Structure 1
Amino acid sequence: MIEKYLSIAGPVEAEIEDRRSRFLAHLEPVSDEAAARAVIESVRKQHHTAGHHCSAFILGPDGAVERSSDDGEPAGTAGAPMLEVLRGRELRDVVAVVTRWFGGTLLGAGGLVRAYSDAVAAASDAAELVRYRLADMLELEVDYAIAGRVEASLRDRGVQVADVRHGAQATLVLAVPPAERAAVTSAIAELTGGRGRPVGAGTRWLA
């Protein structure tokens, strides 16, 4: 099971030039294929004078969805190399669009592969990376008399308290790596004299 993955914090661009052809790379985090295609179309409209808008995206923590497009460039010279850079950087939930303005000199297949790859690599280098981890969400109800002490003790032990809800009792919402769930449950039992029993509340990807 995938428990961690890497993405980018926000949109980023980088430009390179090869024999007067300009290659502008745009990277952006996306959550699904519709969002990725919307970014591609947005870039296409923004730079409508350019000859090509090649693209690649990888979706899902496990990279289950991969798509690429050469957008009129010779087959295999743009989209696939761009996709390979994203794979090599282990980026997920990200779309890359490289817009090319032709400079008058043919670059050849090898030159195109290098240029599209280098443009995506340059944008990746400029991006702020975000590491996401899968967490089991646990809800723990405790009396107000001990809630503060239990919360502080859990935080001291490195447990992430994602939220505190107030009702008849205090409910601590904990984000726990799956591998640490048993240890956290044991710590809760120790802190509450065996009275605290966390209840599972699904899983969530957290930065």
Structure 2
Amino acid sequence: MTAEAYPLQWPTGRARTERWRREPAPFDVTFARARDDIVREVELLTGTRHYGDAYVVISTNTALARDGLPLAGQRQPDDPGVAVYFTYKKRQMSFACDRWTKIEDNMRAISKTIEALRSIARWGTGDMLEAAFTGFEALPAPGAVRAWWEVLGVARHATKDEITQAYRRAAMDAHPDRGGSHDRMAELTRARDEGMRDK
């Protein structure tokens, strides 16, 4: 599991709710109950019961208890977002919510979402569950660096010529002068340089 429980590590590429759009939730749940419900729902979904193990990470801006889960009884932070990371059928999954004004309500929304997805499997439509889960596959954690061959979209054993060609094709779209971004261009350049060093 690559995500950290504290501070909040929001999944890369997931939109955030603007602060002024957050609202009180319709839930009536305590912090501890909401946190424990997430753990329970993940256990039921994955069939994993490893207490004290890092099979699920609940990432928030609240202090952690000894077991690595968010500690109840803390002041609400300015950012009430919650991101949950776990492994399902050897795939890293992430669920995130920051729609509500309280952390416990965002945790509740995530546990209810997982519960709803579990019901899809219960009613014999597992293929729909697999399709639904493709949108929750975790992207790399913030700050994580992808392998050079993934960035360039080539095989790991690509030749220098293939690396150069892939870089040039990708750079045409990624260059800031053509509507791309400096970050994407820097990522491509790093990947090309690493690939060339590997060869």
- Pairwise TM-score range, normalised by the shorter structure: under 0.3
Q: Give the structure with higher Rg (CA).
A: 1
More helix by share: 2
More strand by share: 1
What's the TM-score, normalizing by structure 1?
A: 0.24
What's the TM-score, normalizing by structure 2?
A: 0.24
